[in-house]
A and B are shown apart, each in its own frame.
Chain A
Amino acid sequence: MPVMGPKLVKNFFTGPATRAYPAVKRPAFPQGRGRILYDAERCTYCGICAGICPAAAITMEEDRENLAVRRVFNSFACIYCGRCVELCPNGALQMGAEHPEYAGAKAATVSSSRQAG
């Protein structure tokens, strides 16, 4: 213990090393890979993201009734590697730096080429 002593004494007089979360949150690093932001307006439903997704979190489905393509993104399966963001030719996908949603807020997002016009 004597070797540890000075450190322990110093800790008595300094503030806590932890943050008072959730009141105080650490700002996310700009390069962080926290969320995938999808802009359906810019998406051309080319399917590149679905083809390269290592976790098969993105799937393209045929919607024969409406003659459309549906893009389904399952945020539970997503590993946030960012491959789709790198390869999207239309800039429809962006990587958000803020921390990922908690599990309760995660859901499958569906967008259809019909809605996009």
Chain B
Amino acid sequence: MGRVTFPFGPQHPVLPEAIQLQLTCEDERVVEVLPVIGYMHRGIEKAGEKNPFVNNVFLCERICGICSFIHALCYCELVENVMKVSAPPRARYLRVFWSELSRIHSHLLWMGLLADSFGFESLFMQSWRAREIVLDILEMTTGQRVIQSSCVLGGVRRDIDQDMAGRVRRMLNRFKAEYDAVYEVFARDYTIRQRTVGKGVLSKEQAWALGAVGPTLRGSGWPYDARMLHYSAYGEIGFEPVVENACDSYARMMVRAREIHQSLDLAFKALDNLPDTELAVKVKGFPEGEGIIRVEQPRGELCEYIKGNGTAHLERLKVRTPTFANIPALLAVIPGCELADIPVIVLSIDPCIACTER
């Protein structure tokens, strides 16, 4: 049978960012796939070496627009570890609160895009409508919707007082009511099940061997989540990973859908137990030595490495983002699939190309 190779991307309606997959098809079946990355490289790691290390917080935040807070948190926690500084408890709880809100809005954005990828426009709009409440909370508490800039070395810059906490609780309850309606559709709708169940099966062994992370790994039955490492205040708040065992696109979607409920619980817990301490401690001196940290982004495990030489500039800043780790798993599941299922399978790993290429 004749083979046809054609490009999927870099500009494609289902891809929020630029990546190309060269698909080789026999009839309607994909037999080979080759990724082409590098469209969105911005040289952030090199810029991190040129910047004073204090300013890198704002630089790291701009690696990705969706999980910006978690990138900043990762950098701050790492530099604090290297400099042997500990953020005050209130700052750690607020970091958990904002990270969980980031996770919720990232997952809802993805769920809307997934619905859009198979033409379920009304669900896409309902998902993003619910997400808007979370973005409003982020703007109300930090000052900005997307790039929060509220995490700094040694703690956080913004506080949530009693009045604001009350408003946030009311808004979160309103969000929960909106999200519950959306969740029901994702969990039970016939169309969604037809388009996702059994598509892009990544077996348990394969997921581990290919180094998948985040919901892609948890959707294949591995109870692994970097929040189990108890960074920030996750140790005090308590945490259990969400796991699904079906290994297909539906399982990966359900991991994210259930994680939103879990993140909501964690955000409420963080808000209810805010310790009464200062917001930040002063960080004196310069980082010397090296360190590595892993934190859980909405898409999976984010690793960061820094090497300081006792000056205001870092010798090396290295970021390993979750989508980069998930691309081998994506390439393993695509061969043998129907061409029409490719958008759903590609989206099922929640690709964030801006993170991957930095």
A4, B143: Cβ atoms under 8 Å?
no
Query: Contact residue range for chain A?
Result: 10 to 19
Residues of B within 8 A of A (CB): 51, 55, 58-59, 122-123, 126, 129, 136, 139-144, 147, 149, 157-158, 181, 184-185, 188-191
A3 to B321, CA, bound (A): 36
Nearest to A4 among chain B residues (CB) is B185
Among A26-34, A38-46, A66-74, A102-110, the one that faces the other chain is A26-34
Chain A residues in 8 Å Cβ range of B143: 29, 31-33, 82, 95
Query: Which of A1, A33, A55, A79 is within 8 Å of B191, CB to CB?
Result: A1
Residues of A within 8 A of B (CB): 1-4, 7-8, 17, 29, 31-33, 54-55, 79-82, 86, 95
Contact status of A17 and B140, CB under 8 A, knowing A1-B189, A3-B189, A33-B149? no
Chain B residues in 8 Å Cβ range of A33: 143-144, 149
12 A-B pairs within 8 Å (CB atoms) are namely A1-B191, A4-B122, A4-B189, A17-B129, A29-B139, A31-B141, A31-B158, A32-B139, A33-B143, A33-B149, A54-B59, A82-B149
B147, A79: Cβ atoms under 8 Å?
yes
Smallest CB–CB gap between A11 and chain B, Å? 8
Chain A residues in 8 Å Cβ range of B142: 31
A7, B58: Cβ atoms under 8 Å?
no
Query: Which of B129, B140, B147, B190 is within 8 Å of A2, CB to CB?
Result: B190
B58, A3: Cβ atoms under 8 Å?
no
B185, A3: Cβ atoms under 8 Å?
yes
Chain A residues in 8 Å Cβ range of B158: 31
B58, A79: Cβ atoms under 8 Å?
yes
Chain B residues in 8 Å Cβ range of A8: 122
A90 to B59, CA, bound (A): 27
Most buried by A among B142, B143, B147: B143
A7 to B158, CA, bound (A): 37
Smallest CB–CB gap between A86 and chain B, Å? 7
